[in-house]
Chains A and B, each alone.
Chain A
């Protein structure tokens, strides 16, 4: 019933803070990280109503350096289907890392550094903690020594998420004034140099703050001292991202799933979907033109019983038509929600889909995601 105490795990620079705040530490991607402090539901609600601080330093921060933007993007676009060429300085884009079969090796956010922050030809990426070593090896093979790719284990990453996040940062910097969703800029916060992105994994407005490991505790202390800010753990991070309809790598997509089946069309550039020129385009182009066999959908269930990962999904006649890849109880909706894959002809909103849990049939229906509307603050690039 209890969690196994983590042993031999890597620690982020904020480990001592998590323990001091009563965080219940678990193994996540090989790191000791808090699953919760006060409780998952309380932290979830606080994020939706105020602002929460998450330590996401386990994530991989990568830097690519080439001679100019076009060359760097040329290499990256061999294995990611997004249109990176058109990124203006400071802009960020969500995309996927593809293999030759069109399967997803990881999902990531690629950033073109803000004007003057780095030389032309430098790009940043944030990848999943559990995949970072794999991704770096894969990319280095793809780049054939022509584009430099390095991991930045010297950097920490702190996410401040929620409707009050912008106000909290506005007390410390004016750098957020012009920053919209998926835009980034350097900012000095209480004397600490950081690189700020208006992005996150909760569906709320919020920021991810990259900074030197050595400064992480000081910034954490500065932000947590604000009366609107509470710490939040991995449990709330998971329930928040599920309500936001955001995928979790290794669950909602894997090396075997392509971005069309995964309902991640937006991870691919509009033109590039037609012209290709990236790994796996043969399979992906086919899925685009003929339609995929299965599709990722959101499902909302009746009653209160959670439907979790692995549960079978059934059509109205009781036939198995798919399975759940992420699921749980949504604190905001006070209802069970899930994401899963179903036969593509059953993927339209309104379609009745039930789940089998411990021999019981739980009725539900396909719904649009996000389950809870997101509150991103969009601004046009300058």
Chain B
């Protein structure tokens, strides 16, 4: 399953029309211990670049932007009790929300693994 990344270090994993979004391994390392996640409302319609969630570490609060436009269809409720999943397993159990993607072209325009590796080098 391929991941694509935004400039702001969110990843998107696309399955059919639904994109699963979280923050990259690099981003969680930079943030440090995550202690709280503010999740978006299911049903909300968002535009690429909108601030949709906030991930808070001991150190700081960090906004999470929608890397693609669409409708929020699911949020990871597990993060309420286990925000540390973002540190331990950012690209699987630590996902944050899912978007039904309006335009898969937006997904295609995001960075692939190689481009993202360059971006964070």
Question: Which residues A303-359 have CB closer than 8 A to chain B?
Answer: 304-306, 308, 328-329, 331, 358
- What is the interface residue range for chain A against chain B? 20 to 34
B62→A1 contact, CB < 8 A: yes
Q: Indicate if A235 sits at the interface (CB-CB under 8 A).
A: yes
Question: A306, B35: Cβ atoms under 8 Å?
Answer: yes
Question: What total of A-B pairs shows CB separation below 8 Å?
Answer: 48
CB of B9 within 8 A of CB of A1, answer yes
Interface contact A329-B36, CB-CB below 8 Å: yes
Q: How far is the CA of A44 from the CA of B57 in the complex (A)?
A: 14
Interchain CA distance A36-B36 in the complex, whole Å: 19
The answer for the CA separation of A152 and B84 in the assembled complex, in Å, is: 43
User: Which residues from B are CB-within-8-Å of A41?
Assistant: 32-33, 58
Known: A235-B58, A329-B56, A329-B58. A305 touches B33 (CB 8 A): no
Task: Check if A1 sits within 8 Å of B54, measured CB to CB.
Answer: no
Q: Are B32 and A36 in contact (CB under 8 A)?
A: yes
B interface residues, tally (CB under 8 Å): 19
Across the interface, B33 reaches (CB within 8 A) one of A1, A39, A304, A358, namely A39
Query: A42, A235, A304, A305: which contacts B59 (Cβ < 8 A)?
Result: A235
| A284 contacts the other chain (CB 8 A) | no
Within the complex, the shortest CB–CB distance from A334 to chain B, in Å, comes to 8
Given contacts A305-B56, A328-B58, A358-B54, contact A1 B36 (CB under 8 A): no
| Residues A39 and B54 in contact in the complex (CB < 8 Å), given A306-B61, A308-B61, A358-B38 | no
CB contacts (< 8 Å) of B54 on chain A: these are 358
Distance of A235 Cα from B30 Cα, bound (Å)? 13
Chain B residue nearest in CB terms to A305: B36
- A39–B62 touching, CB < 8 Å: no
Cβ A40 vs Cβ B58 within 8 A: yes
Q: Is the CB of A304 within 8 A of B36?
A: yes
Q: Contact flags (1/0) for A36-50 with B, using CB distance below 8 Å?
A: 100111101000000
Interface on A for B, CB 8 Å cutoff?
Answer: 1-3, 35-36, 39-42, 44, 235, 239, 304-306, 308, 328-329, 331, 358
List 3 A-B pairs, minimum CB-CB distance, nearest first: A329-B35, A41-B33, A40-B58
